[in-house]
Structure 1
Amino acid sequence: MAELALQDVIKRYGATQVVHGVDLTVEDGDFCVFVGPSGCGKSTLLRMIAGLEETTEGRMTIGGRDVTHADPAKRGVAMVFQTYALYPHMTVRENMSFGLKIGGADKDEIKRKVDAAAQILKLEDYMDRKPKALSGGQRQRVAIGRAIVRQPDVFLFDEPLSNLDAELRVEMRVEITKLHKKLGATMVYVTHDQVEAMTMADKIVVLRDGRIEQAGAPVTLYEDPDNLFVAGFIGSPRMNLFDATVTKAEAGVAHVTVPRLGDLVVPVALNDVPRDGQAVKLGLRPEHFNSDGELRANLNIDVVENLGGVSYAYSSQDGDTHPVIVELRGKSRPEAGGVLTVGFDASSALLFDAKTEQRIR
C-alpha cells in the first residue's frame, strides 16, 4: 500500500475552474472520505486520482511516484463505481478475474487471487452466478472483489452504496470498514452522506465548490469545526445556528445575546474576543441541550420525532431559516404544541463570525 499526496491540484474545463489548488495527504493505510454537497468536486477529484480526468495543474504522487499524468492502468489504483460496472454475460468468477486475464496473469495466480478475495467477501457460494442472479449488496461485493484481486496501492470508491436500500447500506458500510481493517489498505471514498463519512473514515475531507473547507478526524470536525459550513454539514441532525450579537467583550469572555432564545446572554470563553456589537452566529448541537444546563430558555414545540431510545423536538418561528432541534432522551417527552424548557452550558457553545463565517476561538 502507499501514501497518496496531492500538491496544489487544479482542474479546469476550458475557462471554468472546478478544483482550486487542493493540497492533501492521505497516509499509508488510511481510510479517507471525501464528503460534500452535490457539485462540490469530490467525484471529479477522485477521477483525477484515478487518471480518468486530466490534472490541469499541480502534482499527484502515490507511494512517492509521480502519477500526475500517468496512464490509469499504471497508477496502482483500483476503482469501485456506484453502478457496479459488472459484465452481465460473465459469472462472478469471470468478472473478478477479467482484469487479471487482460493483464496477462497466469491461471494459477488468477485462481489464487480470486479465491482469496471471494473468501474475504463471503462470495464462495456465488462464483458461478451471473450478476442478474445477485442482490444489490452481492453485486457490490463482486465489484469490490474485482478491485481486491488487482492488489492496488490505493482503492478508490465512488459513492458505492448509493443504489442500495437503507438497511443494506448499513450492512455494507460495516463490511467495507471491516475489509479496510483486514487489508490495511489505503482507501479514498466519495459520498454525499455525512453519516457514512463519520462512521467509516480515519480522515474526512469536507469539500465545497472545489476547495477543501476542512480535513481531519471525524470527531475533530464534529467537535471543532473551522467554519459555519463544516459546522452545519457535519452532524445529523445538523448543528443549531443562532443569530447573535456581542453585547459585552472582556478579557477571555464574549457575552453574546441570542434573540431566538429570548434574548438569553451566553458567556463564551475565547482566546480572540470579538468587539462589542459584532454580529456572530452561536452554534449548539441538538445533544447539548439538557435539563441541568446553567442557561435556560423556552421553546414552542411544533413536531416531535420519537425514534425509540431518542427523540428530536423541532421548534420553528417566523424568520427561522432552520428549526431549532433538541435531542431528548429518557421517558419524559414533550407534546407537539407545548412549550419545552431547555438548558445548556456555555462551554458547549461555539461562536462564528457572521460576516466571514469563520470560527472565533
Structure 2
Amino acid sequence: MAGLSLQKVKKRFGETEVIAGVDLDVADGEFVVFVGPSGCGKSTLLRMIAGLERTSEGRVLIGGRDVTDEDPAKRGIAMVFQTYALYPHMTVATNMGFPLEMAKRPKEEIDRKVAEAARILHLEAYLHRKPRELSGGQRQRVAIGRAIVRQPGVFLFDEPLSNLDAELRVQMRIEIARLHQELGTTMVYVTHDQVEAMTLASRIVVLRAGRIEQVGAPLDLYEDPDNSFVAGFIGSPRMNFVDATVTAVQDGHAVVAAPEAGLVGMAVATRGTPPKSGTPVSLGIRPEHFVPADGAAGTLCGKISLVERLGGVAYAHAVLADGSMITVESRDAHNFEVGNTQLFGLQRAFLFGADGMRL
C-alpha cells in the first residue's frame, strides 16, 4: 500500500490551463473521491496520477517516491476505467490474470492471485465464462479483479459505474466500499455523481475549473461548506438559494430579510463577524431544513408547481414571488398540493456573500 501526494501540479494543453496548481495529500489506505461538474478537470487529474497525461508542472509522489516522469507501469498503480476493456475471447480467469501473464509471473502465482480476487469479488462461479455471458455489473467486477491481482499501492477508478443501470450502480457501490474495507488499499475515485461520493469517500475533493474548492469528509462538506458552489453541489436535491439583505445584527447573528420571497426577518448564524446591515447576501436552505410555518425561525411564501411523491418522502417544487424556485422536503406526502400558495417555515440556513463565499 502507499500514500499519494500532488505538489502544485498543473496541466496545460497549449495555452489552456486545465489543472491550475493542485496540492493534495492522500493518506495510505484512504478512499478519496474527486467530484465536480463536467470539464472541471477531475479525470485529467486522475490520468496525471496514472501517468496517462504528462504533468506540465509540479510533482506526483506515490509512496513517497517521485513518479512524475515514470511510465504508468512503474508507478505501482492499477486503474479501472468506465469501459470494461475485457478481451472477448478470453475467460474471466484469463482476463483477470492477463497482467500477471504479461509480467511473466509463474502460473502458480497467477492462479493463486486470480482465485483470491475471485473470492473477494464473488466471481468464483464465473471464472470459466466469457465476457458476453456476464451482466454489466459482473463485467465491471472482472475489470476490478484484473486490477486487484496486480496488488497495486494505489487503485484509480475513473467513473467505473457510469455504464450501469441505477440498481446495479447501488449494488456496485456496496461492492467497492466492501472491497476497500477488505483490502485497505489507497483508492482515488472520480465521479460526477455526488451520491457516490457521499457514500464511498473517506474524503471528498470538490473541483471546479481545475482548482480545488474544498476538501473534507462527506458530512463536513455537507454541514459546513466553504462556498455556495460546494453547498449547491453536495446534497441531493441541491441546496436552495434565495436573494436576501442583512437588516440588522443581533447577538452575533445576522438578521436577514427577503420581502418578495415572504421572508420578513430571520436570525442566521455566521462563521465570523456578521456582515453589516444593508449587505446583499444569498440565503442557502437545504430541502430538509424546512419545517411547518408555525413557530419557525422564518418563512418563505411560494406557489407549488410540482410535487414528487417518493413513498416515505415528498418534494414540493414551489415558485416564490420573486420568480425563484425552491425545493421543500416533507416526510408527510399529504402536506403538498399543486397550485396551493403556502408558507414554508425555515429551521436552518447558511449565508453566502456576493462572491459566493460563506459568511
TM-score normalised according to structure 1 size = 0.96
Code of the residue aligned with 1:286 in structure 2: it is: P
Q: Structure 1: which 5+ residue stretches go unaligned?
A: none
Q: 1-side partners of 2:273 and 2:316: how far apart?
A: 34
- Report 1:129-208 matches (<5 A): 129-208=129-208
Helix, strand or coil at the partner of 1:189:
strand
**Structure-2 residue corresponding to 1:358:** 357
Q: 2-side partners of 1:258 and 1:318: how far apart?
A: 10
Q: Structure 2: which 5+ residue stretches go unaligned?
A: none
Q: 1-side partners of 2:122 and 2:227: how far apart?
A: 43
- Report 1:86-97 matches (<5 A): 86-97=86-97
1:161 Cα offset (Å): 0.3
1:88 Cα offset (Å): 1.2
For the 8 Å contact 2:82–2:159, the answer to whether it is kept is yes
**In 2 relative to 1, CA 334–60 (structure 1 residues): closer, same or farther, beyond 3 Å?**
same
For the 8 Å contact 2:8–2:21, the answer to whether it is kept is yes
Helix, strand or coil at the partner of 2:231:
helix
- Report 1:1-361 matches (<5 A): 1-249=1-249, 252-270=252-270, 271-291=272-292, 293-317=296-320, 320=323, 323-330=325-332, 332-345=334-347, 348-354=348-354, 356-360=355-359
Code of the residue aligned with 1:184 in structure 2: it is: G
1:331 Cα offset (Å): 5.3
1:251 Cα offset (Å): 5.7
Q: 1-side partners of 2:323 and 2:201: how far apart?
A: 33
1:296 Cα offset (Å): 3.0
**CA displacement, residues 27-68 of structure 1 (integer Å, 9 cap, x when unaligned):** 111111000110000000000000000011111111111111
Helix, strand or coil at the partner of 2:118:
helix
Instruction: Using the TM superposition, name which of 34-43 and 82-91 deviates more.
Output: 82-91
1:299 Cα offset (Å): 2.2
> What is the alpha-carbon root mean square deviation over aligned residues?
1.3
Q: 2-side partners of 1:318 and 1:265: how far apart?
A: 16
Q: 2-side partners of 1:129 and 1:333: how far apart?
A: 52
**In 2 relative to 1, CA 261–317 (structure 1 residues): closer, same or farther, beyond 3 Å?**
closer
For the 8 Å contact 1:313–1:325, the answer to whether it is kept is yes
1:2 Cα offset (Å): 1.1
1:247 Cα offset (Å): 1.7
Q: 2-side partners of 1:293 and 1:186: how far apart?
A: 45
Code of the residue aligned with 2:307 in structure 1: it is: V
For the 8 Å contact 1:251–1:273, the answer to whether it is kept is no
**CA displacement, residues 138-158 of structure 1 (integer Å, 9 cap, x when unaligned):** 000000000000000000000
**CA displacement, residues 231-275 of structure 1 (integer Å, 9 cap, x when unaligned):** 111100000111011122356121111235314211123322112
1:18 Cα offset (Å): 0.5
**In 2 relative to 1, CA 80–260 (structure 1 residues): closer, same or farther, beyond 3 Å?**
farther
**In 2 relative to 1, CA 55–238 (structure 1 residues): closer, same or farther, beyond 3 Å?**
same
Q: 2-side partners of 1:242 and 1:154: how far apart?
A: 42
1:72 Cα offset (Å): 0.3
Helix, strand or coil at the partner of 1:69:
coil
Q: 1-side partners of 2:57 and 2:220: how far apart?
A: 30
For the 8 Å contact 1:243–1:260, the answer to whether it is kept is no
Q: 1-side partners of 2:323 and 2:7: how far apart?
A: 41
1:300 Cα offset (Å): 1.4
Code of the residue aligned with 1:357 in structure 2: it is: G
Code of the residue aligned with 1:218 in structure 2: it is: P
Q: 2-side partners of 1:269 and 1:165: how far apart?
A: 41
Code of the residue aligned with 1:351 in structure 2: it is: L
For the 8 Å contact 1:11–1:17, the answer to whether it is kept is yes
1:333 Cα offset (Å): 2.4
**In 2 relative to 1, CA 353–170 (structure 1 residues): closer, same or farther, beyond 3 Å?**
same
Q: What is the number of equivalent residue pairs in this alignment?
A: 356
**CA displacement, residues 114-171 of structure 1 (integer Å, 9 cap, x when unaligned):** 0000011111111111111111000000000000000000000000000000111101
Q: 2-side partners of 1:148 and 1:338: how far apart?
A: 56
Code of the residue aligned with 1:358 in structure 2: it is: M
